[in-house]
Chains A and B, each alone.
Chain A
Amino acid sequence: MDIIIQSLAAVYNPMTLLLVSIGVLFGMVCGALPGLSTSMAIILLLPFTYSMDPISAIVLMVSCYVGGSCGGSISSILLKTPGTPEAVATTFDGYPMAQQGRAGEALGLAVTASSFGTIFSAIVMLVASPVLAQAALSFQSAEYFGLGLIGLSCITSIGSKNQVKAVVSVMIGLMIGTIGIDSINGVERFAFEQPSLLNGINYISVMIGAFAVAEVYKNIEEYRHVDTSLRTEQKVKIKLMKFSEMARMWSSFIRGSVIGTIIGIIPAAGGSIASLIAYGSEAQNENAKPKFGEGNPRGIIAPECSHNAAVGGSMVPTLTLGIPGSPVAAVIMAAFLIIGLTPGPMLLREQPIMLNAIFLALITAALLLFVGGRFVTSQFGHILKLPYPLLGTLIITLGVVGAYSLKNSFYDVLIMFVFGLVGYFFDKFKYSNAAVILGLILGEIIENSLRKQIIIGDGSGMGFVTRPVSVLVLTVAVLTFLWPMMSKKFRNR
């Protein structure tokens, strides 16, 4: 009881609440701007935390993590330019909703779902941290391979109009993902002795090109004839979900949050994979109206719940085992070390207030998302009032900054430019840009885990079917791949 009171006092005081607000708002702004990431936002905050007490410092960074994770969806929905990698899946249904004049509704869904996902994972984190962290350690190469396959199962839904083209698109994404140094044995692959290709192709520059730049090209040829902007809404204002609407879509909230929490807990999986898997599981429903990819609210709820649930999830192995659950959690872990705390089993014993304080900060930050969302969205809303020639130009300039800032390299800007053209033609011939990105994101985890497991098995793949967790994950992967076909057959009967 004493610990709970102390934790409440540590978080619910004016100074800490101010820090939570600053963290959320700063994270949201950074998340919404392509070129700035959540990890960068936290790194920028780091110097300010040196003089703070440990709890205030961690609370500030965790709040920034929550805000940044949600902020990426704002530019995803409004500009079709994901501000963060986690927001890729939100683009699939968020942007179509915005085009239909439902940007406010889409943003409301995103904020509500992000908030729900954060609170869900915070509760799970508080209740079952040590147990879940140990369970996550049972994930090895075979399970990661299955996880990657579950992520790929998205293609059966995002490419529902032409499955073969979606498969070819995902293969092209996987092929692009193999460029660079092979991380298993260090062989140079498809780099043609170009130093810039040795590190591979960053999926963020591909994403900006294939989504944002290609969309601008498309709109340039259309804007004189049709309404390509979001002009139907004079002012973009968040429309928050009513409780009855949330209750109607409860399954999407829960599914997304559960997937996000589990994947967040698994070390190095992260929010982007979580949101893709959540989207894929949601989009299995072929009878949904409107269809997924055409502005279905559930297509926003699931990935948003999922990647924000991954925030709390990723804190579980970080705090209990000292293993970061995501790149951003790694930055937060570094902050712990700077402050003089070592994350791991001892931290929970020696600093019991810390875990509770983080839990409370997550919940408070989740609630403050509504305030931050309203502010950041209204600022972005002004941009959308621009005539399309100005808006399109602005989107491309933001994309250039976003691509360049990845590694301070023109090579990434060039990649963005090339994939702008590729994305344009893919769109025209009904290939799936989203599937290319999916393949590119998941390629590394799939290939590396497949090969690592075979190496562990001394050249045999039996490890995939002898490990119970692996069998479970692979079965889920196979079922998610086959479900659309199976459900069609069942319906025909």
Chain B
Amino acid sequence: MAIEIIFNILIGLGILFYLVQAVQLPTTDNPADVLGAGGFPIVIGIIALVGLAMITIRVVKEKHKVAIPMLNLRSIDGRMVFINVLLLAGYVGLLDVIGFVLATFAYLVAAPLSMGYRKPVVITIFASVTTAVMVIVFGIVFYVPLPRGVELFRDLSYLIY
């Protein structure tokens, strides 16, 4: 119950912040634009806040438990999800530095390992083939711009796609 209340409070704070920003939006010069830039956001923000209050009251009354494995790092499942969130964050962060090919290959190797998949040969083949197929299909055949990285990685990427 406590986790859900904390979650609702966080959403509530987000909505309050949104409402404060909406109220401060400049009014329009056009008198016919009654709602202005802030009118609609204020209305939906208030509805969301009222709804959230109703949900929170119900949560307090019903006191049901919600299990969130990601927040329980003592469990293997929780750790696996948490590590995967970090891995994805690292992947996203590295894409613009070392480029698509290296970052994707590294992620495709690291993520299955973090999920307890212990077949290094299969993982290596999977990562190599997937990276190659993605670069060929998206980067070469369909001209989808893929991240190139910086400096040397960028120059190297031009040799591939």
Contact = CB atoms under 8 A, between A and B. Distances in A.
A33 interface: yes
In this complex, the member of B34, B40, B68, B117 whose beta carbon has the largest number of chain A beta carbons within 10 angstroms is B40
Contact of B40 (A167, A225, A390, A451): A451
B121 interface: no
B7 A397 contact: no
Nearest to B131: A397
Contacts of B52: 168
A247 interface: no
Interface string A145-174: 000000000000000001011011001101
B37 A413 contact: no
B25 A189 contact: yes
Contacts of B41: 175, 178, 189-190
A12 interface: no
Interface of B: 4, 7, 11, 15, 18, 21-22, 25-26, 28-41, 44-45, 47-48, 51-52, 54-55, 58, 66-70, 76-78, 80-81, 84-85, 88-89, 91-92, 95-96, 104, 107-108, 111-112, 115-117, 122-123, 126, 130, 134, 137-138, 142-147
Given A389-B115, A394-B130, A217 B89 contact: no
Given A417-B89, A429-B7, A454 B66 contact: no
Contacts of B66: 428-429
Contact of A397 (B33, B55, B76, B104): B104
Contacts of B85: 217, 420-421
Interface stretch (A179-187, A195-203, A281-289): A179-187
A455 B33 contact: yes
B137 A175 contact: no
B80 A450 contact: no
Contact of B144 (A394, A401, A425, A428): A401
A200 B130 CA distance: 32
Given A390-B117, A405-B144, 20 more contacts: A40-B142, A164-B54, A174-B44, A184-B33, A185-B36, A187-B28, A221-B77, A396-B111, A397-B107, A397-B134, A398-B134, A400-B95, A410-B92, A417-B89, A428-B66, A429-B4, A450-B35, A454-B35, A455-B33, A458-B32
Contacts of B70: 217, 221, 424
A10 B30 CA distance: 54
B45 A175 contact: yes
A190 B21 contact: yes
B81 A454 contact: no
Interface string A377-403: 000000000111110111011101100
A138 to B, nearest CB: 22
Nearest to B45: A175
A294 interface: no
Given A164-B55, A167-B51, A178 B95 contact: no
B59 to A, nearest CB: 9
A36 B92 contact: no
A387 B117 contact: yes
A44 B140 CA distance: 12
11 contacts: A172-B15, A178-B44, A189-B38, A220-B81, A389-B111, A390-B126, A392-B111, A398-B134, A401-B144, A404-B145, A429-B7
A393 to B, nearest CB: 4
Interface in A183-233: 184-185, 187, 189-190, 213, 216-217, 220-225
5 A-B pairs closest in CB distance: A171-B48, A389-B117, A389-B112, A389-B115, A221-B77
A405 B85 CA distance: 22
In this complex, the member of B68, B112, B143, B146 whose beta carbon has the largest number of chain A beta carbons within 10 angstroms is B112
A459 interface: yes
In this complex, the member of A36, A397, A408, A421 whose beta carbon has the largest number of chain B beta carbons within 10 angstroms is A397
Contacts of A413: 92, 95
B33 A454 contact: yes
A454 B39 CA distance: 12
